Amino acid sequence: MLIGSLLIGTFIIAILLGGSLLLWQAWRNQRDASRKTSFVSNVSHELKTPLTTIRMYAELLGEGKIHEAEKQRRYLQTIIKESQRLTRLVNNVLDFSRLEQGRRNYQQEPLELKQLLQDLLESQQPRLRDADIRLDLQLPETACAVKSDRDALEQIILNLLDNAVKYAAVGEKIQLQLSCSDQQLTLRLRDWGPGIPSAHKQRIFDKFHRVDNSLTTRQQGSGLGLSIARQLAQGLGGELNYLPMQDGSCFELLLPREGAK
Ligand code: ADP
């Protein structure tokens, strides 16, 4: 009798556990499917906006109706800026697919980090000026040589910078700080924007994850930038972390000096 009840009890528990597992799996599949759908629609939207702008300004210039040199210059600058935005997005989608398929290879070339940062940030100046954001770049006095993958490093920094520009309030400061020890280099990107709610601090590195608030609704995004940046950092043998701040956000990239795995 007792054994019979035990068997029935065990049977019911097994059914309940199995059922919960199936429900959980179905919920996860549905969540992944809906994240993918919103990813496709977000990416399409992100591609469409700069393309529409580029086409509009190119048509205006092509029609020859814009005679003022200053206006022509502004329209051309917008075309360049929007094409750069398209390039960043396409690079992210390409990186994402290579990382997903385990096909991302890392080069090991000698790099001087101070120079790399200065060149990269120089190319971002027009965007920062437009957003009225002041970049405070803090570099070590001595050179910081490393063997690493230039494209991966640039993509990580650009993704972090993109977010700081998108989510930090207009007219704010961003701080980029590099420090180098014999073993490792540390790069911190700090902004004084709205920060990240504590419930999302780990999940922001999940692919497709976007914090569901008015800020994210206002700003376009695919939810891929941080996931790619972290995977690239790990591919280089380092790590990318979010450091909780009282005000704003800070992302920390740690990399070994000897370079990519
Ligand atoms: P995307 O910016 O395309 O949405 P990311 O993976 O780059 O995707 O970022 C994930 C989410 O993390 C963003 O949607 C945003 O909600 C939040 N986030 C990232 N960086 C910042 C930041 N500097 N300040 C505030 N929120 C941020």
- Atom number of ligand 1 nearest to Cα 209: 10
DSSP string, 97-164: HHHHTT------EEEEHHHHHHHHHHHHHHHHHHTT-EEEEE--SS--EEEE-HHHHHHHHHHHHHHH
Q: Which of 162, 210, 217 to mutate to test the pocket of ligand 1 (most atoms within 8 A of CB)?
A: 210
Q: What is the pLDDT of residue 229?
A: 96
Tell me the C-alpha distance between 28 and 56, whole Å. 42
- How many whole angstroms from 52 Cα to the centroid of ligand 1? 24
Mutate to test the pocket of ligand 1, among 92, 135, 226 (most ligand atoms within 8 A of CB): 226
Distance (Å) from CA 210 to ligand 1 centroid: 6
Residue identified by tokens 């398929």 is 101
CA of 23 to the centre of ligand 1 (A): 30
Q: What 3-state DSSP class applies to 196? A: coil
- Ligand 1 proximity of 240 Cβ (cutoff 6 Å): no
User: How far does the centroid of ligand 1 lie from the alpha carbon of residue 159, in Å?
Assistant: 9
Q: What is the pLDDT along the chain (261 residues), one digit of tens a residue?
A: 667 676 777 777 777 777 677 777 777 777 777 777 777 777 787 888 889 989 999 999 999 988 999 999 999 988 998 898 889 888 888 888 889 888 899 988 999 999 999 999 988 888 888 888 999 999 999 999 999 999 999 999 999 999 999 888 777 899 999 999 999 999 999 999 989 999 999 899 998 888 887 777 778 788 889 999 999 999 999 999 999 899 999 999 999 987 444
**235 alpha-carbon distance from chain centroid:** 15
Grouping H, G, I as helix, E, B as strand and the rest as coil, residue 189 is strand
Strand-pair partners of 189: 176, 251
Nearest residue (CA) to ligand 1, atom 3: 221
Does the beta carbon of 259 sit less than 6 angstroms from any atom of ligand 1? no
The atom of ligand 1 lying closest to the CA of 200 is 12
93, 167, 220, 251: residue to mutate for ligand 1 pocket, most atoms within 8 A of CB: 167
Main-chain phi, psi angles of 258, to 5 degrees: -80, -10
Pairwise CA distance, residues 200 & 112, whole Å: 34
Q: How far is CA 32 from CA 8, 18, 22, 27, 38, in A?
A: 36, 21, 15, 9, 10
Whether residue 42 has its Cβ less than 6 Å from ligand 1: no
Calpha distance 100→231 (Å, rounded): 10
Residue nearest to atom 23 of ligand 1 (CA): 164
| Protein residue closest via CA to atom 21 of ligand 1 | 163
